[in-house]
Chains A and B, each alone.
Chain A
Amino acid sequence: MAKVLMKGNEAIGEAAIRAGCLNYFAYPITPQSEVAEYLAKRLPEAGGTFVQGESEVAVGYMIFGAAACGERVMTTSSSPGVSLMSEAISYIAGARCPAVFVNIMRGGPGLGGILPSQGDYFQATKGGGHGDYHMLVMAPDGVQEAVEMTMQAFPLAEKYRGPVMIMGDGMIGQMMEPVEFPEDLYVPPTNKDEWATNGMDTRKSDTKNIVKSLYLDPTVLNDHNLLLKSQYDRMKEEEVRFENYNTDGDYQALIVSYGTMSRVCKTAIDEMKAQGLEIGMVRPKTLFPFPEKAIHDAASKPGCKVVVSIEMSMGQMVEDVERVVKGKTPVQWYGQCGGEVPTPQKVMEHIQSLLNS
Chain B
Amino acid sequence: MGKTFSKPEALSDAHTHYCPGCTHGIAHRLVAEVIDELGIRGRTVGIAPVGCAVMAYNYFSCDFQEAAHGRAPAMATGMKRVRPDLMVFTYQGDGDLASIGMGEIIHAANRGEKFTTIFINNAIYGMTGGQMAPTTMPGQRATTAPMGRDVEKTGMPIRMCELLSSLATPGYVERQTLLKPKYINKAKKAIKKAFEYQEANKCFSFVELVSTCPTNWGMTPQDALKWAEETLLPYYPLGEFKSPE
Contact = CB atoms under 8 A, between A and B. Distances in A.
B42 A201 contact: yes
Interface string A20-61: 000101000000000000000000000001010111011111
User: By CB atoms of chain B within 10 A, which of A25, A54, A62, A65 has the most?
Assistant: A65
Interface in A178-208: 197-201, 208
Interface stretch (B78-86, B177-185, B213-221): B78-86
A64 B81 CA distance: 12
A197 B42 CA distance: 11
A200 B42 contact: yes
A69 interface: yes
Contacts of B64: 197, 208-212
A213 B66 contact: yes
B107 interface: yes
Given A208-B62, A214-B66, A58 B103 contact: yes
Interface string B191-211: 000000000000000000000
Interface string A200-235: 110000001111111000000000000000000000
A68 interface: yes
B57 A212 contact: yes
A87 interface: yes
A61 B74 contact: yes
Interface in B49-92: 54-55, 57, 60-68, 71, 74-83, 85-86
A65 B104 contact: no
Nearest to B83: A69
The interface size bin for chain B is 35 or more
Interface residues of A, number: 38
Q: Among A54, A62, A213, which residue has the most Cβ atoms of chain B within 10 A? A: A62
A120 B155 CA distance: 39
B83 A198 contact: yes
B41 interface: yes
B81 A66 contact: yes
Contacts of A213: 66
Greatest chain A CB density within 10 A among B63, B81, B83, B104 is at: B63
A154 B201 CA distance: 30
Given A69-B86, A212-B57, A200 B62 contact: yes
A69 B66 contact: no
A62 B72 CA distance: 9
B67 A200 contact: no
B65 A211 contact: yes
A278 interface: no
B74 A53 contact: yes
Nearest to B81: A49
Contacts of B104: 54, 57-58, 61
Given A61-B71, A71-B83, A51 B65 contact: no
Nearest to A54: B107
Given A51-B78, A53-B77, 13 more contacts: A53-B74, A61-B75, A65-B65, A65-B75, A65-B76, A73-B82, A199-B86, A200-B62, A208-B63, A211-B64, A211-B65, A211-B66, A212-B57
Interface of A: 23, 25, 49, 51, 53-55, 57-69, 71, 73, 87-88, 91, 95, 197-201, 208-214
13 contacts: A23-B78, A62-B81, A64-B75, A65-B74, A65-B75, A65-B77, A67-B78, A71-B82, A197-B79, A199-B83, A200-B43, A200-B63, A210-B65
